[in-house]
Structure 1
Amino acid sequence: MKFNYKKNIAAPLMIGLSMAIGLSSCQKDFGDINKPWDSKAYSATIPAMYNNLAVGMLEAGTSRTIFSSFLYQNTQLAANYAASGYRLNDQVGGAWTNYYTALANYREVETMIAKDLKADKMTNVKAMLKTLMAYKTLKATTLFGDMPYSQAGKGFSGPEFYRPAYDQQSDIMLAALNDLKWAVDNFNTNTDQYSLGSSETIFKNDIPTWIKFANSLRLRYAMVMRNKNASLADPIIVETLTKPLLAPGDNLGIYPSQVTGLTLNRAPSFRGNSYVRMGSTMWNAMSSTNATDGSGIYDLRCKILFEPNKAGQWVPYPQSPTEATTAEIVGDAPYLDARKTNFVSTGNYLYSPLSIFYVADDKIPELFITAAEVSLLKAEIYNRGIAGVVANPVTAKAFYEEGIAESVKFWYKTANSTSIGSVTKPNAAPTALELSTMLMHPAVAYNVANPAAALAQIYKQSWIALFHQPYDAWVLKRRTGNGTPNVALSPSSPVINLNKLVYPNSEMETNYENWKVVTGGADDMASKPWFMN
């Protein structure tokens, strides 16, 4: 099964009416549980419905061009050397459709479970479904803000649900966090539990991993809303710290190597109108000098995620270019598939690109949440002394260094296993000396004596660790009030006030009255979602 991340056209919200069509989904491991394509009738089953929701966890079809054309610029994880031909409002439909397809199917499988004679043995299945849907809901609302939720995905129940009202983001987040709590509290290892068997393609029926996943998501999103509503977030944060969280080595997501026939082709998102290069903000976060020979590089991830230019020099593209900036040679030379087998590019380019390994390896997992992120969230908690946790710079430093090490180890392991043989591979893991040298570098060493400076370091390292998760890096940037590394962008930048994704055009066309209530009749990406206020 091959997923290409490409531009999609927005689909109407009323996708709930056709929720059962999703059962045809996908081939290989994700789809073998369904009936043959040429059957005259299709019957929904709980394993099939669960599996269809699992397929939707992939971002396939959610317009990854948002990443390279807009989010890379806004988060400054990378830079665009030319204006993209993509329009933001043409890119959002995939994410919207992906979410509401999943929500409609989730509503239906809930009903199916309630009617099943084995419902009392399906606690784990319900907890898995609640966890997946809560994850998608929290992600969707941090993208769009207020959304149809409590009345959405119910089109099959009657015409009164065809045009669902929008819920406030605060209510949506609380409902999803409550679902995650229910899942954490109800997952169990009783042998009489109904098993999805091979249909459970996410964590292979590993209940302890499911618990850590759900609890770690609670921690992430409680921190997202903490600055807005501490009285609501703090009890959640305290509780998550007493229950299982991701530990070193836990990097949860969908791994193509574990699903027969699955590939995740990200390459199209870096060609054509994407115009992506390593930006000066990231370069300054990884190198202590502008030496083009790379002698100032201190971050062990730099040479894995980025490359020198065609001349073999490390030259970032300015995050905020001026008229004096030398223009890049327009072309896709560094990202062509031919470089997977012939590393030397036939084209020319003046600025350092993302590495061909990162762009072209279709086995890099799609990550949900990682040990690095969780460790750095703990570092933030102990740095700030929030949620009843006493500020402790020593403990904060330990989690800070653990988070950095986990991120570095992930990229070493991932690069070492690449099928692109022309890439110089690092060891399977960094040596103790390499890690300690990086952690002791003046730009990285935790500032125990200055909590404010140390907090900036935590946000910087969290931002770098989220390089492969630009949506989550965007949430981090917004929830911290631009606390992640950034420089002032040009006033003409198309992402200078990108605070939310605009709603797809289909919403204005098919759900106008409710759309108008929430937008005032003019949707604006500069409008701040609730968690930012």
Structure 2
Amino acid sequence: MKKLIINISFVLVAATSLVSCKKAIEDKFYNPEKARDASLSGLFTAMLNNDRVAAKYWNVRTFLCQMPGVYAQTSYFPNANSVYQQSDGYSQNYWDDFYATGGNGSGSMAQYRSMETKFKTLSDTEKAAQATIMQAAKVVLIEQAAKMVDLWGDIPYSEAGSLETSSTIVNAKFDEQKALYTSFIADLATAGAYFKANPTNKDFAKADILLKGDVNLWARYANSLRLRLLMRISKVDEGTARTAVLDMLNNSAAFPLIDGGNNPSYNPGVSDVLLQPLTNSTSDLSAAFMEGSWYATDYMLNTVMLPANDPRIPVIYDKYGRTVNGKFVPNAGYKAMPVTMTGSDQETKFADYSVLDSATFLYNQKLPGIVITASEVNLLKAEAYERWGSSASAQTAYGNALRQSVTFYHYLNSLNQGGGYVNVPVPAAADIDAWVNTSSASYTGTSANKLANIYTQKWVHLGVLQSTEAWSEYRRTGFPVLTFPSDGKLSGFDTPPTRLIYPGKEKILNAANYQAVQAKDTRKTKIFWQP
């Protein structure tokens, strides 16, 4: 009954929010409606207003915490027999939200194709004025398309969106995943150079609800996304990745990054790429998490964070507890339910274990959608330096990344003002230094040990809100070394997959093109960048 009430309430709130949020965009930005005669600016705003990027119920509840969060153990999951089985309905929703508007995403592909069509009708003078918006839209499309590749492998891309470009429906071929990544990396290099060399303009600034028309940040965003994709292919195409990455890192003036200026006390709200909620948004993630995924995860808390006395623990988790004689009694310390705990024990003993912090995650109406952060970028830099350059430079980047992660999570917590929530005080510098320099998280040991720490700390930092990226990095690096209970699981689903199966409707409606990739369509087929 409790879940039913929550769900009904959510539907009512969502219906109201959709109307009010739409009006807020129209008042402040260009018309985002998907229409043939819509302005480029309006289409771009609509493209950015993506509930698959924003911190929204449907994406967190039905996708992140159902699939990638389970497969990467960044989200708690019940020890049920079908826990590793992909939800075809929810993965179909995610797939559709990339290609078409009207769902829970912005329809990135459809919006971009509409922008291309509109752009072709402009005069040369108008095209020159609108080129900045088109470059930014390409970066946004690539970020979302790369996630699609990371989840499924080959995807329709080059021929997708025919309805927007030619008013006809043409079933699109599946483009080969490695070729797509190659094109993404090249296009991001072009975009980064463009934003470095060109000024902003009023149309772009008004349309840009992500970075407010700041071309410096767009250059950093394009370069940082390129760095992410290059490092992702680095285990299978090390030569290409190494050359391009070292060129970027050795020429920071030409390739600025989202690295917070390498300042541990940076301002995430200014430096990171975050999709802030609309000013009149009143939604939060309480229902998304409390319907089963708000408990602390075993390996992250028990194995990684607690032994290191990680200063992020109080801002990511709450001790939780029980009500005794009408009074809430918190647990003595932090601990997560063991991943091997039976389903029946999970249902009866959950109050003895920690949960996600309510102020940071559950009831935070100001929680942004996270695209890329300084901590992730510095961990990418640390990996590159450790593998191909100076271990001392790697240690510096690693230390910056850990300190910035503390800053980042306290920033998220600080956004929740009022409502009776007390913000967690920022830890003393000495406590953070002890964690970075002398704990199990410290940058010591062999190069292999150092890389393992880089990979593990990136997984922790990405966490539940970036579970898709966490799952990709886990599959790429093999870290952390996780245990997945297999006893009692459904036959054929006793372990997590290495990719998602194509959604059912795509197999039927695009059957001819699906035949070309059908042999790859197994849950254990590797994405091309997996070693």
Of 11, 22, 27, the residue aligned with 2:22 is 27
**2:291 is matched with which residue?**
272
Of 315, 333, 340, the residue aligned with 1:304 is 315
- Residue 182 of structure 2 aligns with an amino acid whose one-letter code is L
**2:408 is matched with which residue?**
410
- Residue 231 of structure 1 aligns with an amino acid whose one-letter code is G
**1:49 is matched with which residue?**
43
C-alpha distance in 2 between matches for 1:192 and 1:474: 35
C-alpha distance in 2 between matches for 1:380 and 1:514: 38
- Give the conservation status (yes or no) of the 8 Å contact 1:6–1:64: no
Of 179, 196, 202, the residue aligned with 2:187 is 179
Q: For residues 24-103 of structure 1, what are the structure 2 equivalents within 5 Å?
A: 27-32=22-27, 33=29, 43-56=37-50, 58-59=53-54, 60=56, 62=59, 64-83=61-80, 88-100=87-99, 101-103=107-109
Q: C-alpha offsets along residues 216-256 of structure 1, whole Å, 9 cap, x if unaligned?
A: 00000110011122233233313332210112232211122
**1:395 is matched with which residue?**
393
1:456 and 2:452 are equivalent in the alignment: yes
**2:366 is matched with which residue?**
363
- Give the conservation status (yes or no) of the 8 Å contact 2:499–2:526: yes
C-alpha distance in 2 between matches for 1:147 and 1:327: 38
**1:12 is matched with which residue?**
none
Deviates more, 1:511-520 or 1:488-497: 488-497
**1:287 is matched with which residue?**
306
Of 233, 241, 250, the residue aligned with 1:225 is 233
User: 1:510–1:192: structure 2 CA closer, same or farther, 3 Å change rule?
Assistant: closer
Secondary structure at the counterpart of residue 211 of structure 2: coil
User: 1:204–1:436: structure 2 CA closer, same or farther, 3 Å change rule?
Assistant: same
C-alpha distance in 1 between matches for 2:466 and 2:238: 26
TM-score by length of 2: 0.81
User: 1:244–1:131: structure 2 CA closer, same or farther, 3 Å change rule?
Assistant: same
User: 1:120–1:78: structure 2 CA closer, same or farther, 3 Å change rule?
Assistant: closer
Q: Alpha-carbon deviation of 1:188? A: 5.0
1:252 and 2:262 are equivalent in the alignment: no
Q: Alpha-carbon deviation of 1:408? A: 0.4
Q: Alpha-carbon deviation of 1:478? A: 0.8
Q: C-alpha offsets along residues 68-114 of structure 1, whole Å, 9 cap, x if unaligned?
A: 23333321224323437895212112321221132122122123223
Q: C-alpha offsets along residues 272-310 of structure 1, whole Å, 9 cap, x if unaligned?
A: 35474432443211112xxxxxxxx61111111112231
Of 469, 473, 490, the residue aligned with 1:472 is 469
C-alpha distance in 2 between matches for 1:359 and 1:492: 32
Q: Alpha-carbon deviation of 1:46? A: 0.9
Of 331, 335, 357, the residue aligned with 1:315 is 335
User: 1:190–1:223: structure 2 CA closer, same or farther, 3 Å change rule?
Assistant: closer
TM-score by length of 1: 0.81
C-alpha distance in 2 between matches for 1:168 and 1:25: 41
Secondary structure at the counterpart of residue 517 of structure 2: helix
C-alpha distance in 2 between matches for 1:511 and 1:531: 26
- Give the conservation status (yes or no) of the 8 Å contact 1:298–1:438: yes
Of 520, 526, 529, the residue aligned with 1:528 is 526
- Give the conservation status (yes or no) of the 8 Å contact 2:151–2:500: yes
CA RMSD of aligned residues (A): 3.0
Q: For residues 182-221 of structure 1, what are the structure 2 equivalents within 5 Å?
A: 182-187=190-195, 190=198, 193=201, 195-221=203-229
Q: Alpha-carbon deviation of 1:483? A: 1.9
Q: Which runs of 5+ in 2 are unaligned?
A: 1-5, 9-18, 100-106, 261-265, 322-329
Secondary structure at the counterpart of residue 92 of structure 1: helix
Of 256, 268, 280, the residue aligned with 1:261 is 280
- Give the conservation status (yes or no) of the 8 Å contact 2:41–2:133: no
Of 122, 127, 143, the residue aligned with 1:119 is 127
Q: Alpha-carbon deviation of 1:364? A: 1.3
Q: Alpha-carbon deviation of 1:504? A: 1.8
C-alpha distance in 1 between matches for 2:501 and 2:32: 38
User: 1:190–1:382: structure 2 CA closer, same or farther, 3 Å change rule?
Assistant: closer
Q: Alpha-carbon deviation of 1:6? A: 9.0
- Give the conservation status (yes or no) of the 8 Å contact 1:74–1:498: yes
- Residue 245 of structure 1 aligns with an amino acid whose one-letter code is L
- Residue 525 of structure 1 aligns with an amino acid whose one-letter code is R
Q: Which runs of 5+ in 1 are unaligned?
A: 8-23, 289-296, 331-347
**2:507 is matched with which residue?**
508
C-alpha distance in 2 between matches for 1:282 and 1:513: 47
Secondary structure at the counterpart of residue 246 of structure 1: coil
Secondary structure at the counterpart of residue 265 of structure 1: coil
User: 1:252–1:504: structure 2 CA closer, same or farther, 3 Å change rule?
Assistant: same
Q: Alpha-carbon deviation of 1:156? A: 4.1
User: 1:492–1:393: structure 2 CA closer, same or farther, 3 Å change rule?
Assistant: farther
Aligned residues: 474
Deviates more, 1:434-443 or 1:125-134: 434-443
User: 1:65–1:192: structure 2 CA closer, same or farther, 3 Å change rule?
Assistant: closer
Of 480, 490, 497, the residue aligned with 1:484 is 480
Deviates more, 1:137-146 or 1:246-255: 246-255
User: 1:188–1:355: structure 2 CA closer, same or farther, 3 Å change rule?
Assistant: closer
Deviates more, 1:436-445 or 1:398-407: 436-445
